[in-house]
Structure 1
Amino acid sequence: MMSMAKGKRVVVFLDYDGTLSPIVDDPDCAFMSDSMRSAVDKVAQHFPTCIISGRRRDKVYKFVKLTNVYYVGSHGMDIMAPVKSLDHGINTSLHEQAIDEKGNKAVLFQPAEEFLPIIEEVYSELERKTKEINGVMVENNKFCISVHFRRVDEVDWRSLEDQVINTIKEYPSLCITRGRKVIEIRPSIKWDKGRALEYLLEILGFASDQTLPLYIGDDRTDEDAFKVLQRRGQGYSIIVSSIPKDTKASYSLRDPSEVMSFLLLLSKWKKHSDSSRK
């Protein structure tokens, strides 16, 4: 992998939960370690680095607390990028001016913005309908909703799923996907982490064949990004899993600790590569 990176512009894409932080029973406690934060920081000092999460973009930033990475929330439906991206021929009709985590001018791209009122309505309805099920957590991720049942007794799983399905039947513009003990509700638009990956490569000026994207993720939603890299025949996709999985990823790491080791190795390789050219 390192030999293929020589002469290329490496761009790093990372999922958050299960990749940079462990999967925990309480999603609000999915904190990354200081050592992982340091590893991500070191990588971001050498390569453009983006965290693409299903969570709210601002929530991921509060977990990570680094200003030298790009943040994408809601499975790619909430993207903040530098103003310079406007120079790359992208359709800017859905762009809004914003201020990034550094206080710099930025552009905000939210292809599902029109769904915000519906998402808010469904979120309130699901909170009300599931409040009698012990252990359930309904999380508003701005452009999507996560119904976590990791702490729910298994005998209640079917009842919870039925509640979610029956609720969403009333909203044909929304769809349901499933992750690791979580049910996701999101807008039925042709947008996912794979499309967000392509958008970011284009808007950041890294769409050429001289770019080597690396994408690391652990969940089903990351498969969309893996498929994009496979179709492009460009870059490396890495799944994080301790067990064999049916995946489009080319490589695997077992857990966040191995992800951290890989990131440290990547930054060390870049530092050595740069010093050897001096």
Structure 2
Amino acid sequence: MQPLFSETGLKRVEEVARAGLLCAFDFDGTLVPIMSRPEEVRLSDDVRGKLLRLSAHAPVAIITGRALEDIRGLLGFTPDYVVGNHGMEGVPGWEARAAVHAQQCAGWKAQLTGLLARTPGAEGIEIEDKRYSLSVHYRAAPDWQRAAVFLDEVCAALDPQPRLVAGKCILSLVGVDAWHKGNALEALMELSGARTAVYAGDDVTDEDVFRIKRAELLSVRVEHRPDSAADFFIPRAEDTERLLDELIARLAACDARNWLRKETALHQ
């Protein structure tokens, strides 16, 4: 994983930033910083403005772990694609799989609620019901490491066993056959007819995208992590703004060249 804002990284941006690009982003930790109260997060005016300018040149997708009904109220604009629940909501055809995931989550929630109520050491642990997945938050727990180990043990007793995805003081529970962000991105590339794509994310759930090795996909991780499968990294969530600037500048230049070629051909 190399720095994106290096000669090699910016050359790669230049290669993908052309007609037919799909621009996809995670939300929390990528477009906005991680907050102790996720419900209070909003896009800054600067980031929203740059996403709107970007969308004038290329389709924009938000692929997030939040539920669709949650994320849509936080954006302040309408992207071309919005995918929630780590890839389970928003991609065409997702409704056909939704009932099974909802039933599984209802069962896990009932089991977890009972287990947490009966077990000492569950202080500060909260269950967020996203209908098709569950997120168990432990940022408020007195001892984060102990809470993480405790949750692994508790979730091992669930029936049926979920796929567990560990994040930053959060444990997501999804169906073992549920779509993930990688499935969602590839589906959106096909749906949009994208010839290239860029994806930026910051968490373990984004590794499902980073592990896709396609020449036409540029993957960017927020914060360096030695074991990440991402191609490049940017140091902080705030640096996503520079990524947006780089994409806008190159796509605008590409559009201008294409317009000039058309005008030249028209008057020959």
The residue matched to 2:52 in structure 1 has which SS? helix
Count of matched residue positions in the alignment of Structure 1 and Structure 2: 245
Matches within 5 A, 1:127-276: 127=113, 129-130=115-116, 133-154=122-143, 157-158=145-146, 161-163=149-151, 165-167=153-155, 169-189=157-177, 191-206=179-194, 211-228=195-212, 230=213, 232-241=214-223, 243-276=224-257
- Aligned mates of 1:2, 1:170 — CA distance in 2: 44
| Structure 1 residues 6 and 258: alpha-carbon distance in aligned structure 2, compared to 1, 3 A threshold | closer
**Structure showing the higher strand proportion among its residues:** 1
Amino acid at match of 2:141: V
Superposed CA RMSD in Å reads 2.4
Q: After superposition, what is the alpha-carbon deviation per residue over 1:123-143, rounded to whole angstroms, capped at 9, x for unaligned?
A: 244345446744323211221
**Alignment partners' CA distance in 1, 2:44 and 2:241:** 10
Equivalent residue for 1:55?
66
Aligned-residue offset at 1:204: 2.6
Q: Partners of 1:126 and 1:152 in 2: how far apart? A: 16
Structure 1 residues 68 and 183 mapped into 2: Cα distance closer, same or farther (>3 Å)? closer
User: Structure 2 stretches of 5 or more lacking a match?
Assistant: 1-11, 261-268
Q: How big is the shift at 1:167?
A: 4.8
Q: CA deviation at 1:191?
A: 2.6
- Aligned partner of 1:144: which letter? S
- For 2:186 and 2:151, the matched residues in 1 are separated by 35
Are 1:23 and 2:31 an aligned pair? no
Question: Using a 3 Å threshold, how does the CA distance of structure 1 residues 163 and 173 change in structure 2: closer, same or farther?
Answer: closer
Distance 1:118 1:74 in 2: 14
Q: Which has the higher contact order (CA 8 A, sep 6+)?
A: 2
Q: Identify the residue that residue 91 of structure 1 maps to in structure 2.
A: none
Asked if 2 retains the 8 angstrom alpha-carbon contact of 1:54 and 1:141, the reply is: no
Unaligned runs of 5+ in 1: 82-94, 96-107
Deviation at 1:201, TM superposition (A): 1.4
Higher-Rg member (1/2): 2
**1:53-92 alignment, distance < 5 Å:** 53-81=64-92
Percent identity over the alignment is 25
What is the CA–CA distance in structure 1 between the aligned matches of 2:151 and 2:207, rounded to whole Å? Answer: 27
| Preserved contact between residue 222 and residue 233 of structure 2 (Cα < 8 Å) | yes
User: Whole-Å Cα distance in 2 between the matches of residues 261 and 136 of structure 1?
Assistant: 36
Q: Deviations over 1:187-215 (max 9, x none)?
A: 11163111111111122333xxxx11101
Q: State the TM-score, normalizing by the size of structure 2.
A: 0.81
Contact between 2:165 and 2:171, CA under 8 Å: does it hold in 1?
A: yes
Q: 2: distance between equivalents of 1:6 and 1:269?
A: 6
Q: Kindly tell me: are residues 223 and 48 of structure 1, through their superposed partners in 2, closer, same or farther at Cα, counting changes over 3 Å? A: same
Partner of 1:90: none
How much has 1:171 moved relative to structure 2?
1.3
The structure-2 alpha-carbon separation of the partners of 1:226 and 1:6, relative to structure 1 and needing over 3 Å to count, comes to closer
Q: Is the 8 A contact 1:148 1:183 kept in 2?
A: yes
Structure 2: how far apart are the matches of 1:77 and 1:31?
Answer: 23
1:238 to partner: Cα distance: 0.4
Which amino acid in 2 is paired with 1:116? A
Deviation at 1:78, TM superposition (A): 0.8
Confirm or deny: 8 A CA contact 1:126 1:164 kept in the other structure. Answer: no
